[in-house]
Each structure stands twice: as structure tokens, then as C-alpha cells.
Amino acid sequence: MTTKLFYSFLKWVALGPILRAVFRPTYEGTDNIPRKGAAIIASNHLSYADWLFMPLGMKRMVRFVAKAEYFTGTGAKGFLQKAFFSGTGNVPIDRGGATAAEGALIAAKRVLAEGELFGIYPEGTRSHDGKLYRGRTGIARLTLDTGAPVIPVAVIGTDVIAPPGKKFGKLVHPRVVFGEPLDFSRYEGMANDRYILRAITDEIVYEILKLSGQEYVDMYATEAKKLADGEKRSKKSSGSSKAGPTKDVA
């Protein structure tokens, strides 16, 4: 079964109808998605469920990058894992001596060169608290190197369905809002200017912010998560010390 056929099967026959019937997601701005040609779908990232609900509102297949390990496993488990990730449109990160970020860009450029839609989360990782964090500039380099427009997307409510650290939460009706395409051709040839890359990234994240209504934090999500984890450990340690030593009762 080809990738697109399997993708269509899951979306329209197997998994998609179940998700629609149970969660009844709503979609806005779907006319902003180009009917053909390459485009970058840039979304906020609240939950692992984002990649399930966001594509349901699109007629076209959207592809994401995934760890290369998902495509190289052995045995029955490895075969099924590879079949699923390949069949759902994911492409392995092309390391080839590059860093993970560089490998992801290489894979993304290959997808866009084929005139397809590529999905990316500018924050680089899931938000641990529902806030929107500073974007990584890889998306700016990607749009400048390929000329592909960027479609900002806001996914709302998935962090309630599948909260960070949990597989399941509450049953709510998620919303997905697609914004108008962003064209950065005015910066053509300036992909090596870090100030331009930052400006483009901030503009994309700002458009996502307007669609999602999230609180914005000018910090990378990974750094914020480390700080939050550190505060939790500190409070836990402080609580233990206040309890004081225990005494044995004879």
C-alpha cells in the first residue's frame, strides 16, 4: 500500500471518522491552505494529539519529520513501526553527519521540493504549560531556502484531551484555525542574516499567537521546561526539609 493510499485510508476510513465522531473537532480558515504546490504548515504544539487533529481539517496530506529510529527497527515491531510512520506521511530525519536540526531541514526541503505540504512546530517541542514560546529560526531558513509560503496554524484544546505527561485527559471539542499564507520573498538571499531569520520567526509566531490567544513567553520552551522542573524539585526538597527528621519510638 502506497504512502498516500494508506494515509487516505487512516484519515477517511479508519482513524479519522472515529476522531471526528468522538471529539467533533472544528476547523476554520481551511481555504487558506493552497490546493496544490509546496507550503509550510507552522503550528503551535500543545500535545502529542496535535498531529492527529490538525491534518483532519485538510484535504491534502501534510508530512512531518520523525526520528530515524522509527524507520530502522527490526523484527515484527520494527516492521509495523516503519509501516505506520511511513504510511502516515512521516519522513525520517536525514542525519548524514548533520545535527538533528540540520537533518530535519534537509528532510523538509526534500518534501517541499516535491510540491507537498510540510508540517513544523516552530517552538521545537511541546509546551508544558499551554503557553506559546519563542520560535526556533529553522523555519525561517526553510522558507527562505525553498520559497514556500508559511501557513500559521493554531491548535486549541488538545492539551486538555492529552495533557503533557498523560496519555488521556478530558473529552473536549478541539479547534484548529488556519491563518492566511505568509510570504517572505522580500528577504530572498538573506538566509545567512541571523537578524532576518529572527524577525521572520517572530512574525510567524506572532501570527500563531493571534490565532491561538495563548499567553506568549519570550523564552525557548526547552529552557522554560527545565526551569519549571527545577522549581518543582526545589519545592519538593524544601517540603521534605521542613518536615524535619523522624525519631524512632521505642
Three-state DSSP string of 104-170: HHHHHHHHHHCCCEEEECCCCCCCCCCCEECCCCHHHHHHHHHCCCEEEEEEECHHHHCCCCCCCCC
- b/e sequence 112-139, b meaning 16+ C-beta within 10 Å: beeebbbbbbbbbebbbebbbbbbbbbb
pLDDT of residue 148: 98
pLDDT at 248 over 50: no
pLDDT at 191 over 60: yes
pLDDT of residue 94: 65
Domain ranges in the chain?
Answer: 3-235
Give the residue from 63, 56, 32 showing the smallest Cα distance to 182.
Answer: 32
Q: How far apart are CA 45 and CA 78, in angstroms?
A: 27
pLDDT at 102 over 90: no
pLDDT at 246 over 50: no
Chain centroid to Cα 109, Å, comes to: 17
- Of the pLDDT bands very low, low, confident and very high (cuts 50, 70, 90), residue 236 is confident
User: Which has more pLDDT, 143 or 82?
Assistant: 143
Give the residue from 221, 226, 223, 228 showing the smallest Cα distance to 127.
Answer: 221
Backbone angles phi, psi at 232, to 5 degrees: -65, -45
pLDDT at 234 over 50: yes
Cell numbers 541571523: residue: 194
CATH number of 3-235: 3.40.1130
Q: How far apart are CA 151 and CA 120, in angstroms?
A: 10
Q: What is the mean pLDDT of residues 24-49?
A: 96
User: Which has more pLDDT, 176 or 97?
Assistant: 176
**Range ranked top by mean pLDDT from 42-56, 101-115, 205-219:** 205-219
pLDDT at 161 over 90: yes
Residues 112-143 have pLDDT tens digits of 999 999 999 999 999 999 999 999 999 999 99
Residue 72 identity: T
pLDDT of residue 250: 33
C-alpha cell at 130: 499551554
